[in-house]
A and B are shown apart, each in its own frame.
Chain A
Amino acid sequence: MMSDEGRRWAGLAGVVVFLAVAGGAIYWLGAILAPFVAAFMVAYVLSPIVDLGERQRLPRWAIIVGVYLIMLGGVVIGLIFLIPVLIEEIGALRENIQHFAELILTGSGDIQKWVQGRFPELSQTLFGDANLGNQLGETIRSAASEVLDRVPDMIQGFFSNLLSVISYFVVVPFVAFFILKDGRNIKRSFIALVPNRYFEMTLSLISRIDNAVGGYVGGQITESFVVGLLAVIGLKIVGLEYAVIVGTVAGLTNLIPYVGPASGAIIGSIVAVVTGKSIMWVLAVFGIVQIVDNIFLQPFILGRSVNMHPLAVFAVVLIAGSLGGLAAMIIAVPVTNIVVVIISTLRENFRHYQI
């Protein structure tokens, strides 16, 4: 018989080997696992809706099919209405780049003239013989054209890779369907593999993770959708050009805590300055959207807020941004929460559970 001490070390070695294998699998098979991770997230987001339908004693598969049909309808309507508007606005933006660059050129030229007139020596030090307006205008024109030229290439690049299209548009809904339908059985099968001594700890861990992030991801997506919609409506009302682009970007960036809502307002303000609209109107729209979000949306949609200090959320989001970009910023908070829950449960278990 193995001693308790020996068993503990064997258990610890098992956990280390498992983590190493899992880490290696994620590293080497990341691209293949990505659609499965996406499917898991889709299932996690949709599961509260399916559970709600199940309370009405409807069969689970029927609810999932219903949700899929509604989502498909939403995507089709979105494509019909949103995509043409976005394409039109991007096209218009591209055409107007020349105009905006000229505006900046004239404006900065004026500033340079004013400085030259008042402080000729300072002007010589600052600008030399170069024309500030020309330089700035040229830089902005080329940068903006480059960004806008890349948008269709990015979309085309995404769709031209047949494997990724199949992975994401076929595999994700397919896998998500089975995770939603048989999620409880899948969970039970995994728990069945857990050794007896870790059984109660595993049950406790799963429940705590669910409590910590359950509803967060789905809530965040719903909140961002509503914020984006309100921003588009508000910006249309004040008559901002490119309201759909700015509102959509504001909705998407809203997925990132703290950093996101500010980005929407900044982009809106830049568009307002360039198109000659009053910046105050744009800021008022984003201010009202934020008030509505804080008072009405967050308490009801997010419900269980994550148990993290705002400073910690801010730091985690920034670190995730520098490590893994936009996607990492979006999932940074729930992932950090899961890690915190796992560490605190394991620490507690080393004290309480005799493992």
Chain B
Amino acid sequence: MISGIWTSVIQRLRPSEESLDETLGAIHLFEGLSRSERNDVERIVHFRTYQSGEAIFHQDNPGVAMYIVLEGKVNIVQRDEKGGDDRVLASILEGEFFGELGLLDESPRSASAVASRPTNIVAISRPDLLELMQRNTALGVKVLIPLSQLIVTRLRFTNERLSEITNSLEESEALNQGRRREDAEERAE
């Protein structure tokens, strides 16, 4: 009976089981899981509803969870340190996820996440996922490998971007030096 009460409290907030299962199955982190393993993950998720303009988390807050958008849209926004307008880095749509680095440690969020229209999301907290991984190590491996791949891909992308920026800085520096040399030669003539 008591179990029924709690289930009904959660049920009110929860989308249909099939749609959540489909959403989880379509997400890279959980695509390797079997149906019963996805059910285990579904048992630890938190359903949250946000109004348009409401923050899901703020930049610099310690991260503790990852989020999956079920319905609506979330903007990832970075504060302009020089006091200008906030910069929208990305928009997260239905079936996409964000804040996954919160699954690794409590390091500060690099950007804020703000609902840009009424949005339903599910949150998976690090302690709950770690506990689930301890209970079911096979599931843990299946989640951790794509998570590491995701981080490696991001690191590679960041390295490429860094290398591009370094190259373009070097090129513009070389260009500036060339111009200065030409100017000096013109003045000498």
Interface residues of A (CB under 8 A from B): 51, 54-55, 178, 181-182, 184-186, 188-189, 191-192, 196-197, 199-200, 203-204, 206-207, 210, 348, 352-354
Contacts and interface: CB of A to CB of B under 8 A. Distances in A.
Nearest to A53: B135
B3 A204 contact: no
Contact of A189 (B6, B61, B125): B6
Contact of A210 (B10, B13, B65, B127): B127
Nearest to A61: B3
A181 B1 CA distance: 12
Given A184-B128, A203-B125, 7 more contacts: A182-B6, A184-B43, A186-B6, A191-B46, A192-B10, A203-B127, A354-B58
A210 B134 CA distance: 15
Contacts of B62: 200, 204, 348, 352-353
A184 B54 contact: no
A118 B71 CA distance: 97
A202 B61 CA distance: 13
8 contacts: A184-B43, A185-B7, A188-B46, A196-B48, A203-B65, A204-B106, A207-B64, A207-B125
Contacts of A348: 62
Interface of B: 2-3, 6-7, 9-10, 13, 43-44, 46-48, 50, 54-58, 60-65, 106, 108, 123, 125-128, 131, 134-136
**Is chain B's binding surface mostly helix, strand, loop or mixed?**
mixed
Contacts of A181: 3
A185 B46 contact: no
A55 B127 contact: no
Contact of B2 (A182, A200, A206): A182
A20 to B, nearest CB: 25
Nearest to A174: B2
Among B61, B65, B134, residue most surrounded by chain A Cβ atoms (within 10 Å): B61
B92 to A, nearest CB: 16
A210 to B, nearest CB: 7
Contacts of A206: 127
Nearest 10 Cβ contacts at the A-B interface: A207-B127, A185-B6, A189-B9, A203-B125, A178-B2, A204-B64, A354-B58, A203-B64, A182-B3, A55-B135
B10 A207 contact: no
Contacts, number: 74
Nearest to B9: A189
A196 B6 contact: no
A197 B131 CA distance: 25
A199 B48 contact: yes
A55 B136 contact: yes
Given A204-B106, A353-B61, A184 B44 contact: yes
A189 B6 CA distance: 7
A200 to B, nearest CB: 5
A199 B63 CA distance: 11
A54 B58 contact: no
Among A54, A188, A354, residue most surrounded by chain B Cβ atoms (within 10 Å): A188
Contacts of B47: 192
A200 B59 CA distance: 13
Contact of A51 (B48, B56, B135): B135
Nearest to B43: A184
Contact of B46 (A192, A197, A353): A192
Contact of A196 (B13, B54, B63): B54
Nearest to B125: A203
A353 B58 contact: yes
Contacts of A178: 2-3
Contacts of B54: 196
A191 to B, nearest CB: 6
Contacts of A189: 6, 9-10
A65 B60 CA distance: 46
Contacts of B43: 184
A354 B127 contact: no
A192 B64 contact: no
A55 B126 CA distance: 19
A275 B56 CA distance: 70
A184 B10 CA distance: 11
A196 B50 contact: yes
Contact of B108 (A51, A188, A204, A352): A352
